């Protein structure tokens, strides 16, 4: 009896340690975002401080963060939609007609480092005046979203029973119509998983936007990174900005936790 | 029209995506391969100049490539060992049916999905030598304060700690999914034979988990080698290039020094390394995990 009690206590303790480790940096980010700069700079105020929303006011008033949020949102939504538009039919075709060599191409595109495209894109986009344009930025983010969506959806479509499709074709429905009206609705869980993650990857993307975005299209991660420049760092505002980028991602992850966990465990990691 | 579409549906569906990949992925790679034989700084006045294998020669002779290669290896190898040990341990710990298992899974997901730039910045604040929490904690516990990201010797361990925090959950989540698929009968017969908990762990759980763990390790290593955002946001490769991994060296060569030819040669070497690592890991998985 005694051993089980000890075991249970140490088990709960371990649980608590793991959870504290996981959450602490988030707690720290949020608490610093509500601290006045002077108290951040003074270690005596590590845990007790006078909360203020001044940091948040400052990033929206002094630094046009609304604009960056809109940019990030436009790029993330449109690149996800674009990836779905191209990726869903392609994944279906690859799954149904067993085009294994093409699925290998997708895998290679997933493995290659993002920076390998960035040099040529930068040169080519410069010539085509696509630097600091939404078109260029969205296309670059689709290079992460598209292979990812196909990667998740190929096994999903592969599992769809052939007989159901065939009976629909016999009933005179065209193949495109069968795909749109029968296959897609049933595949909704996979589509939701892959779209949510594609959205998150785009929202979080730093490297592509850093090089390809400019004043007009600057996304949130770049705005926050640029915020660090200068002689002294305004930590409170920096952490407020970090909270603003991370919040939507956390909300999505919480709401769709079942989908996101399965998507991430399916080998789903950024480009 | 519909008939024609129906007969060629296979290609109608696949071609737009393939065209996009050809344009945005395949073409840039050929472009990079070609550019790696040129000297070019994107100048409009000075055209690119064919220099054959010179970029590769200076890459192999110079110190920066080998330094960056070593740092990449250092960062990836230590991170993956720590993340695997901790991740598997956490997975086994949480595999018991306990209240709140779902909540814990959600929490594990948070470091992985959080925006890498924010993750980097909050760790930058934690590591800050004069006001950061890390040093305040050391002081309270009676230890000497450290320089963390500011020191040539400590920057890599500090970055590794950050990566371990962010990505151990990925190994743990994949392992938890793998644990759920292990059948219960080996455990029952082991109990009958009088095996203790430790024997069950080392003789049954871990061998059966091996394929899952190896898959997780492969996925993680591929991404580790490519780590960019968190390192760039915190150190930009510094201090004194002490955290300039290959990815950062290439980025810097291209977008700060504008040596596009040389950056392309570095990229080609980076590709080959990455593909070699993937093939190596696949071979190990076949050998140890019995995976096709």
Q: What is the CATH number of the domain that holds A245?
A: 1.10.3720.10
Confidence class for position A265, pLDDT limits 50, 70, 90:
low
Q: How far apart are CA B85 and CA B171, in angstroms?
A: 9
Domain contains A44: no
Q: How many structural domains compose chain A?
A: 1
What's the pLDDT score for residue B1? 67
Spatial CA neighbour of B13 closest among A5, A179, A90:
A90
Domains of chain B with CATH codes: 63-289 (1.10.3720.10)
Domain contains A14: no
Confidence class for position A179, pLDDT limits 50, 70, 90:
confident
What's the pLDDT score for residue A242? 92
Domain contains A53: no
Q: In sequence order, what are the beta bridge partners of B39?
A: B49
Q: How far apart are CA B166 and CA B170, in angstroms?
A: 8
A38 touches chain B (CB under 8 A): no
Q: What are A183-188's contacts with CB under 8 Å, separation 24+?
A: A183/A92, A183/A157, A184/A88, A186/A160, A187/A153, A187/A156, A187/A157, A187/A160
What's the pLDDT score for residue A208? 94
A246 touches chain B (CB under 8 A): yes
* Single pTM value for the model: 0.90
- Is there a contact between A206 and A223 (Cβ–Cβ < 8 Å)? no
Contact B229 A246 (CB under 8 A): no
**pLDDT of residue A33 exceeding 70:** yes
Chain A nearest CA to B244, separation (Å): 15
A225 touches chain B (CB under 8 A): yes
CA-based R_g, chain B, Å: 24
**pLDDT of residue B228 exceeding 90:** yes
**pLDDT of residue B96 exceeding 60:** yes
- Is there a contact between A30 and B125 (Cβ–Cβ < 8 Å)? no
What is the arithmetic mean of pLDDT over B104-130?
Answer: 90
The ipTM, to two decimals, is 0.88
Residue B8 is classified by DSSP as T
Instruction: Quote the domain boundaries for residue A212.
Output: 63-265
Chain A nearest CA to B206, separation (Å): 19
Domain contains A58: no
Domain contains A35: no
B123 to each of A179, A253, B119, B126, B149, how far by Cα in Å?
A: 47, 21, 6, 5, 10
Q: How far apart are CA B247 and CA A191, in angstroms?
A: 32
Confidence class for position A231, pLDDT limits 50, 70, 90:
low
Domain contains A178: yes
Domain contains A20: no
Domain contains A48: no
Contact B93 A261 (CB under 8 A): no
Query: Taking CB atoms and an 8 Å cutoff, what residues of chain A touch B94?
Result: 15, 18
A54 Cβ contact list (under 8 Å, min separation 6): A36, A236
A10 Cβ contact list (under 8 Å, min separation 6): none
**pLDDT over 70 percentage in chain B:** 95
Contact B223 A270 (CB under 8 A): yes
Residue B257 is classified by DSSP as S
Q: Return the exposure string of A31-56: e unless at least 16 CB atoms fall within 10 Å of the residue's CB, then b.
A: ebbbbbbebbbeeeebeebeeeeebb
What rounded mean pLDDT belongs to chain B?
A: 87
pLDDT tens readout for residues B26-77: 899 998 998 889 887 776 667 777 887 888 988 888 889 999 999 999 999 9
Task: Return the residue matching tokens 């192999």.
Answer: B60
Q: How far apart are CA B31 and CA B48, in angstroms?
A: 13
* Residue B180: strand, helix, or coil: coil
Q: How far apart are CA B121 and CA B170, in angstroms?
A: 21
Confidence class for position B234, pLDDT limits 50, 70, 90:
very high
Contact B118 A224 (CB under 8 A): yes
**pLDDT over 70 percentage in chain A:** 95
Chain B nearest CA to A84, separation (Å): 10
A184 preceded by cis ω (within 30°)?
no
Spatial CA neighbour of B230 closest among A204, A68, A140:
A204
* Residue A201: strand, helix, or coil: helix
* More confident position, B285 or B255: B255
pLDDT tens readout for residues A89-108: 999 999 888 887 887 888 78
Site from A15, A16, A25, A40 to mutate, B interface, most B CB atoms within 10 angstroms: A25
Q: How far apart are CA B147 and CA B134, in angstroms?
A: 10
What's the pLDDT score for residue A25? 93
Closest residue on chain A to B227 (Cα): A113
- Is there a contact between B2 and B10 (Cβ–Cβ < 8 Å)? no
Q: How far apart are CA A261 and CA A197, in angstroms?
A: 10
């Amino acid at each position: 009896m005694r051993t089980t009690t000890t075991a249970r206590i140490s088990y709960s303790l371990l649980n608590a340690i793991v959870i504290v480790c996981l959450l602490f940096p988030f707690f720290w980010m949020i608490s610093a975002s509500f601290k006045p700069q002077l108290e951040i700079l003074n270690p005596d105020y590590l845990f007790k401080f006078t909360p203020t929303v001044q940091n948040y006011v400052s990033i929206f008033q002094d630094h046009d963060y609304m604009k960056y949020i809109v940019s990030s949102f436009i790029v993330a939504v449109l690149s996800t939609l674009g990836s779905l538009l191209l990726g869903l039919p392609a994944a279906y075709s690859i799954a149904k007609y067993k085009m294994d060599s093409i699925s290998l191409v997708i895998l290679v595109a997933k493995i290659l480092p993002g920076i390998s495209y960035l040099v040529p894109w930068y040169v080519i986009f410069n010539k085509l005046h696509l630097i600091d344009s939404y078109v260029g930025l969205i296309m670059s983010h689709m290079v992460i979203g598209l292979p990812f969506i196909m990667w998740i959806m190929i096994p999903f479509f592969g599992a769809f029973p052939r007989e159901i499709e065939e009976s629909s074709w016999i009933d005179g429905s065209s193949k495109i119509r069968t795909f749109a009206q029968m296959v897609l609705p049933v595949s909704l869980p996979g589509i939701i998983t892959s779209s949510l993650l594609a959205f998150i990857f785009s929202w979080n993307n730093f490297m592509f936007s850093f090089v390809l975005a400019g004043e007009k299209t600057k996304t949130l991660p770049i705005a926050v990174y640029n915020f660090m420049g200068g002689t002294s760092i305004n930590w409170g505002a920096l952490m407020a900005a970090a909270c603003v980028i991370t919040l939507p991602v956390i909300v999505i992850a919480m709401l769709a936790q079942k989908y996101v966990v399965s998507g991430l465990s399916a080998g789903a990691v950024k480009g | 029209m519909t008939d024609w579409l129906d007969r060629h549906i296979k290609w109608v569906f696949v071609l737009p995506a393939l065209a996009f990949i050809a344009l945005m992925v395949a073409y840039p790679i050929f472009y990079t391969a070609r550019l790696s034989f040129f000297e070019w700084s994107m100048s409009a006045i000075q055209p690119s100049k064919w220099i054959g294998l010179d970029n590769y020669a200076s890459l192999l002779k110079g110190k920066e490539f080998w330094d960056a290669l070593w740092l990449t290896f250092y960062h990836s190898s230590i991170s993956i060992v720590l993340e695997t040990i901790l991740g598997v341990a956490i997975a086994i710990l949480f595999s018991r049916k306990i209240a709140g298992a779902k909540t814990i899974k959600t929490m594990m997901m948070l470091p992985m999905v959080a925006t890498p730039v924010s993750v980097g910045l909050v760790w930058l604040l934690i590591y800050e030598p004069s006001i950061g929490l890390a040093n305040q904690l050391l002081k309270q516990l009676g230890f000497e304060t450290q320089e963390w990201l500011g020191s040539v010797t400590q920057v890599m361990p500090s970055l590794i700690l950050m990566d371990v925090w962010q990505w151990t959950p990925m190994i743990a989540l994949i392992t938890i999914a793998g644990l759920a698929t292990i059948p219960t009968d080996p455990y029952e017969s082991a109990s009958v034979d009088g095996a203790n908990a430790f024997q069950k762990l080392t003789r049954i759980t871990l061998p059966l988990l091996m394929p899952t763990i190896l898959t997780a390790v492969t996925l993680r290593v591929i991404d580790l080698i490519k780590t960019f955002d968190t390192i760039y946001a915190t150190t930009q490769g510094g201090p004194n290039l002490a955290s300039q991994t290959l990815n950062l060296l290439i980025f810097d060569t291209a977008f700060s020094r504008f040596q596009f030819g040389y950056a392309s040669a570095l990229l080609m070497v980076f590709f080959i390394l990455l593909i070699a690592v993937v093939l190596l890991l696949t071979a190990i998985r076949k050998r140890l995990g019995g995976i096709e």
